[in-house]
Structure 1
Amino acid sequence: MKRHILWLLLCCSLGLHAQINPNPNPFAAAANPGEQLTYRNPVIPGFYSDPTVCRVGNDYYLATSSFEYFPGIPVFHSQDLIHWEQIGHGIDRPSQLPRGINIFAPTLRYHKGTFYLITTNTGQGGNFYLTATNPAGPWSDPVWIDVPGIDPDLFFDEDGKTYVISSEFKLFRIDLQSGELLTEGKQVWYGNGGRYAEGPHLYKKDGFYYLMTAEGGTEEAHSECIARSNSIWGPYVGNPANPILAHANAAGQNSLIQGVGHADIIQAHDGSWWMVFHGYRKSVGYPAHHILGRETCLAPVVWPRNGWPVVNGNGTVTVAMSCPTLPLKPVVAKPTRDEFDAATLGADWNFIQPPTADAPFFRLKDGALHLTGLPQQISTFGASAFVGRRLQDLQFTASSSLQFDPQTENETAGLTLVNNGQHFDLLVKKSGNDRIVYVELHFGNISYRSKTATLKPGPVQLMVACQGEDFTFAYTQDGFEVPLEKVNLRFLSSETVGWFTGVYVGMYATGNGQPCRDEAVFDYFDYQAN
């Protein structure tokens, strides 16, 4: 009888404990529905990876990597670290990088009235830096430096000396007027032991030199580690609590945001400390796939005197954040529709590789975007007649009205989703005496064509959307929407196609190996989160 009573009491206590503490993961903070939401991650959604930040007074400036897309190195401004507005690009002229563009992680710093952007054009020249007195631009032509590795960082010490360090953790003094290295490189650290160390940043606080770096690759094992030394030349000793930011653990395993790392730390004008970093939002649960690329996120940091920085208490972050913030300074939301009635394209729009003067393919005229196809189809490093923007939402709808009457059957134009050279096209072309519309999926050496539909004369509205775990493609004429195809988003995710970018959506035209003579006229482009 006593055994039965004890067993009943045990079961009741376990049930009561489950009600009091419903969180089954002792490493993760339990959700508190009473907490006030102060901001949401990512603070800059879409493929804005490898963020770097600096402060001038009460103003904050942030830059990110851009890889094969031009203009390159987008630059943002904020007054609260949460609301960001793009103000320019570090690379906005083809003449700055005439051999092509493949921009890895930058570092943005401000020193004595001048802004510095230092980065790597991988496979196309190496490491260089740009300067500007206004972060919105124009930025200078590159000053090339002979530093090994990628993702270089600039550090301005209190004694007036300037240093550069990259992913190989070799430290050099540098003359910023000429780019000349003033010392031999010295190995000051080997990292915390994680693979693919990258994105180092040097800081000085309380007499210590801190060296922070990302490790583990940019997938689920991504993380941020930190070390320090009494001398800038090292040796640097790692934080016993490394990594200071990671989701490849029990505390972060259930977060919508994964792959966190590649961070930069900033002290705000009120004395608080913050970290900007990238992470990707899962589009599909398990195994995780993502389509938006690595997005810029924000987390609070506690950095006690003579101590190590602690990120958001346990080194993890959530989408919904409830920590105290700077006074909020929202920016004006952009319209969802671009009518193409400005003299130039807005900062959201990109090309794949810089357009060349001898092969112009676009113009803005009469409130429309006019594209004349090039012989090339969309690829990562080749010129193509493509104008696109980043996807920024897990669920979205993008649409445009296209007038395109090609006289030859080789020319096609329409909307496309593209990631690392793989692209899914919703296109219009001539077939015999008709114009037809269909979906074509280009995946490596494999191409798939959907059913076709015959179009009536006049413009056609094209639509690409993400609903659930599928991309959907449809067209509209005379007010009737006709679905054509849907495909699982896994096939265009970064896990499938590889490398470091996110999915773009945009307008394109091509001659499929032959010259083009007919313009594709896009009356508008509309992008909305669902």
Structure 2
Amino acid sequence: MKVQNPVVRGFYPDPSICSANGKYYLACSSFEYFPGVPLFESDDLLNWKPIGHCLTRKSQVNLYQVPGSGGVFAPTIRFHNGRFYMVTNNNTYQKNFYVYTDDIYSEWSDPVFVDQGGIDPSLYFEGDKVYFISNGTDESDGRGCIFQCEIDITTGKRLTESRPIWKGSGGRYIESPHMYHFGDWYYLMVAEGGTEYGHMVTYARSKDPYGPFEAYAQNPVLTNRNLGGNENHIQGIGHGDLIETPYGENFMVCLGFRIQSDWMPFHHLGREVFLVPVTWDKNGWFTAGVDGTVQTVMDLPLKASEQKINGRYDVSFETIKNEPQRFCHLREYHPECYEFTENSVTLFGNRFTLNDTESPTFLGVRQSEFDTELTVSLTGNSPEAGITFYLSEEHHYDLAVLCKEKKRTLILRLRIGDAVMTAKEIELPEDAQIILKVVSDAAQYHFYGIINEEEILLGSARTKYLSSEVAGGFTGVVMGMYAVNPNEDQKQKAQFTNLYWKQGTDR
């Protein structure tokens, strides 16, 4: 059947996949956002629904003052002997750990730490042995390398020394290791090239889990690096994980990003989840994708009846009630700052702003399509409240109402690195009814205020300034409702009602 990529849209990078009880489960990176490590479930590998997060409480993860693109990334999810395991890294604090649960719809354990460095950890189970795998640097020659040890899965304690097992096929930044056993061979699959335009999936095999490993002669097995930025709207392909269906078919999930071009190619929706077929030859080597590439539309041997485009969901307060898993906060969650009703959310701001590496009052959802239209009504007396299209503390666009000494002002404020500009400022009539509106396409965001039913364009801003190519980092744009109150002793509220965000106009 014809399949449209990406299969999970918006900022959900570093996918890892497992199967259990007739279903597939996907875990993705969350970085500085809380809850951590979003989880998805699917019956058919195409249609994914959010079911929760692995890291839902402070005892599991410390995100205090984590900078943009810091925190939790590159999880691996595995199912073994009736139990789910998710292993990941809090890069800000340089610690690898795993959590586990017997019920994926319930809470996960507190973290179990493993004394092996590097990032992108993975687990491989075989018999009574558990192998812990991550990247690192071989001190003998300074090259990037994959390290492996055996651990006690109950305590996380190393049972063997960490040993280097493969240095890759020659690309920089070897990472994202996963071990598999098919037939007589152990397969070690990694990412190389860095999670940018040179990203790729490579692999090697051995008769022993410690090697020596023989590289696949046609590496990389999957990459879009040679297609050219304007020839293909998918780039950055890498960080793959394999899955086998009950019918014996093999597939790979991997990350990639959809690019636009404004003289130079860029992406602002973040790295997303793509699906490609895997084919084995008679000699026990596999290929992936279409001639080793990922296409927007691919013909995959799947049993699904139809594909519902994951990103094209409308966001409303009904969504908050029915799918709270789609929403996130910056760093730490302070429940006293949020009140939810059937048709509204009330935010109580704290002293932290969107420019801080702290935890402002912020309720966000990932932007998953280029073409969107958002409206929301705003009332209350919070000193500052509004909506933001947020990439990091140094790159965000804010449409907000400021309240000071009974005077209300509607502003459009743009932060691009060290440059902060109030692009437009409108003094509001007393008791004016305010609706905030944003319309986006691939190139621009357009910001409006609807004041007593009169629509006013405050200005426009380019999407590329919220891209990784301009701002750096590894995340994507998140739309957030937020509030700020420098004087926390005086509890002042911002009430948002009539939220509607249509994502994807071409459906």
Q: Normalization by structure 1: what TM-score? A: 0.87
Q: Structure 1, residues 397-419: CA drift from partner, whole Å, max 9, x if none?
A: 1221111234xxxx211010110
Match for residue 423 of structure 2 among 450, 455, 471: 450
Structure 1 Cα separation of the partners of residues 220 and 400 of structure 2: 47
Q: Structure 1, residues 229-264: CA drift from partner, whole Å, max 9, x if none?
A: 111111112111000111111488611111100110
Once the two structures are superposed, the pairs formed by residues 413-424 of structure 1 within 5 Å of their partners are: 413-421=385-393, 422-424=395-397
Q: Structure 1, residues 340-392: CA drift from partner, whole Å, max 9, x if none?
A: 697797111100102247xx321214631111111111147311111111000
Structure 2 Cα separation of the partners of residues 424 and 81 of structure 1: 35
Match of 1:7 in 2: none
Match for residue 81 of structure 2 among 112, 120, 127: 112
What secondary structure is seen at the aligned counterpart in 2 of 1:175? Answer: coil
Structure 2 Cα separation of the partners of residues 289 and 320 of structure 1: 21
Structure 2 residue 216 is the aligned partner of structure 1 residue 247: no
Match for residue 113 of structure 2 among 144, 152, 174: 144
Match of 1:354 in 2: 332
Structure 2 Cα separation of the partners of residues 487 and 198 of structure 1: 35
Match for residue 412 of structure 1 among 366, 375, 384: 384
Matched residues, number: 487
Q: Which amino acid aligns with 1:174?
A: I
CA gap 1:515/1:398 in 2 versus in 1, 3 angstroms: farther
How far did 1:99 drift? 5.3
Structure 2 Cα separation of the partners of residues 125 and 149 of structure 1: 8
CA gap 1:429/1:380 in 2 versus in 1, 3 angstroms: closer
Structure 2 residue 380 is the aligned partner of structure 1 residue 426: no
Once the two structures are superposed, the pairs formed by residues 25-44 of structure 1 within 5 Å of their partners are: 38-44=2-8
How far did 1:191 drift? 1.3
Structure 2 Cα separation of the partners of residues 185 and 362 of structure 1: 46
Please identify the structure whose Cα radius of gyration is greater: 1
CA gap 1:515/1:307 in 2 versus in 1, 3 angstroms: farther
Structure 2 residue 35 is the aligned partner of structure 1 residue 71: yes
Q: Structure 1, residues 21-71: CA drift from partner, whole Å, max 9, x if none?
A: xxxxxxxxxxxxxxxx62110000000100000112431001001100001
Higher strand share: 2
Structure 1 Cα separation of the partners of residues 182 and 263 of structure 2: 41
What secondary structure is seen at the aligned counterpart in 1 of 2:470? Answer: helix
Structure 2 Cα separation of the partners of residues 393 and 380 of structure 1: 27
Match of 2:142 in 1: none
Once the two structures are superposed, the pairs formed by residues 369-518 of structure 1 within 5 Å of their partners are: 369-379=345-355, 381-406=357-382, 411-421=383-393, 422-430=395-403, 433-456=406-429, 457-511=431-485, 517-518=491-492
Match for residue 246 of structure 2 among 269, 273, 278: 269
Structure 2 Cα separation of the partners of residues 377 and 355 of structure 1: 15
Q: Normalization by structure 2: what TM-score? A: 0.91
Match of 2:140 in 1: none
Structure 2 Cα separation of the partners of residues 452 and 109 of structure 1: 52
Q: Which amino acid aligns with 1:262?
A: H
More displaced 10-residue stretch of structure 1: 327-336 or 104-113: 327-336
Structure 1 Cα separation of the partners of residues 323 and 370 of structure 2: 25
Match for residue 525 of structure 1 among 479, 499, 503: 499
Contact in 2 for aligned 1:73/1:90 (Cα 8 Å): yes
Q: Any stretches of 5+ residues in structure 1 without a counterpart?
A: 1-36
Q: Which amino acid aligns with 2:416?
A: F
CA gap 1:160/1:152 in 2 versus in 1, 3 angstroms: same
Match of 1:321 in 2: 298
Question: What is the percentage of aligned positions where both structures have the same residue?
Answer: 34
Once the two structures are superposed, the pairs formed by residues 200-211 of structure 1 within 5 Å of their partners are: 200-211=177-188
Q: Structure 1, residues 281-309: CA drift from partner, whole Å, max 9, x if none?
A: 01325421111000001011102354221
Contact in 1 for aligned 2:63/2:331 (Cα 8 Å): no
More displaced 10-residue stretch of structure 1: 438-447 or 199-208: 438-447
Match of 1:29 in 2: none
What secondary structure is seen at the aligned counterpart in 1 of 2:275? Answer: strand
Contact in 1 for aligned 2:349/2:488 (Cα 8 Å): no
